[in-house]
Structure 1
């Protein structure tokens, strides 16, 4: 959510070449409820994620196309990220993942549960609205 907050707030002027397995927290909850009632899965582990990894650029594009004008869809060059990493520990930690696009095998999860993930666009826009709501002055302590 922090990255989405930075994107919609215009604090991320460029998007790193990063992707990650993403899942909506509501999907996690649904899978947990199903796991409580499913027979013969005690002790088994399941991966809760979308089939395709989600690229930061996808998230930024969804935001921009839906009225979040401050969301940048410019890709950050690696040399710039390396320079920023000299001064920013968060960027430094991300460097090892730049350019890598991990995959996950969720075939066991799909075969075991009646689950269709919430569409990425809905997840991103709901998250953005949630972030906006949390950032409103009347919601802060």
Structure 2
């Protein structure tokens, strides 16, 4: 146990959408938090997002500068930590010329974190993986995906999903071969929705923004499961502290499969005038696939068309007592908070 009886948790990628919600929940639960940032100038931005979430006291929060692509400062960042929640990973919103620009930092980054955690005597590391490491690249999959499934990296899949899969596999291999008693678990979220606290949010939320701003006249025919970011944060902490979680993967999902058009309908039914620009029609798959040839931002969407991406959340509910909100509640929270961002009302 760390000094002053408050365990210390290192959270990597501290400015990210999921990471900020994890930090928020950790501070609420009276943990000390040390967050990593690539650029220390973002400290104020992170604090502003936490204040939007209700934090008023920052005495248990500190920051340290690290980068997934360098060994520099990781030992110092993890020194004294009881737990590590490794959220940092390259974003799918950025366009890369070569898939290794996304894969290598993700894979090498998690190994850097695990080596430093092992050397520092950390009790457990929780990796934020993704559904992209579970249910992508399969032609004929029957039934909801579970934690037993892995994405097929031999198939033609998006580099982000490939990076998540290879990074998580590398992490499990390290734990099995070199972990030396280090405990490990992963949380694999589906599409993450929920309250936006600032200008940093998930790529799933970006679709909602495009709908609300009228940038999407039609929506792609994608069927996905969704989860509230607050529940993703809670699952990370359950995976961190519960003995049953060690050595396990957990899908973070409300286990409700919705089309993009159903998301649009939820926004229109609940946001009134703010949803006046939300589309009402779907776009044929063939048009999306054609457009993706010329628009790199559409390429991951194109790989998901017509795929069954339904998931089971029974493991997290059964082992950890996790109880997620409905997908509708998460989507409404996204829409309402996104409007504050669009209108410039976010504190």
Q: When the two structures are superposed, what TM-score results if normalisation uses the length of structure 1?
A: 0.86
Q: When the two structures are superposed, what TM-score results if normalisation uses the length of structure 2?
A: 0.38
2-structure distance, mates of 1:85, 1:32: 34
2:238 maps to 1:34: yes
Once the 2 structures are TM-superposed, how far is the Cα of residue 26 of structure 1 from its aligned partner? 0.3
User: Which stretch of structure 1 is more off in the superposition, 120-129 or 46-55?
Assistant: 46-55
Aligned position for 2:79: none
Structure 1 segments, 4+ long, off by >4 Å, are none
Higher relative CO (Cα under 8 Å, sequence separation at least 6) belongs to 1
Rg larger for? 2
Alpha-carbon spacing, 1:46–1:93, altered in 2? closer, same or farther (3 Å): closer
Once the 2 structures are TM-superposed, how far is the Cα of residue 139 of structure 1 from its aligned partner? 4.7
Question: Which of 258, 268, 273 is equivalent to 1:54?
Answer: 258
Alpha-carbon spacing, 1:92–1:35, altered in 2? closer, same or farther (3 Å): closer
2:331 maps to 1:124: yes
Instruction: Report the number of matched residues.
Output: 140
CA deviation digits over 1:4-38, x for unaligned, max 9?
Answer: 00011111111101122321110011212223332
1-structure distance, mates of 2:238, 2:302: 37
CA deviation digits over 1:54-83, x for unaligned, max 9?
Answer: 321111110111221211120111232133
CA contact (8 A) 1:7 1:70 kept: yes
RMSD, matched Cα: 2.0
Higher share in strand: 2
2:203 maps to 1:10: no
CA contact (8 A) 1:14 1:76 kept: yes
Q: Gapped runs of 5+ residues in structure 2?
A: 1-204
CA contact (8 A) 1:19 1:55 kept: yes
What is the 5 A alignment of 1:1-141? 1-66=205-270, 67=272, 68-137=275-344, 139=346
1-structure distance, mates of 2:300, 2:240: 36
2-structure distance, mates of 1:138, 1:64: 21
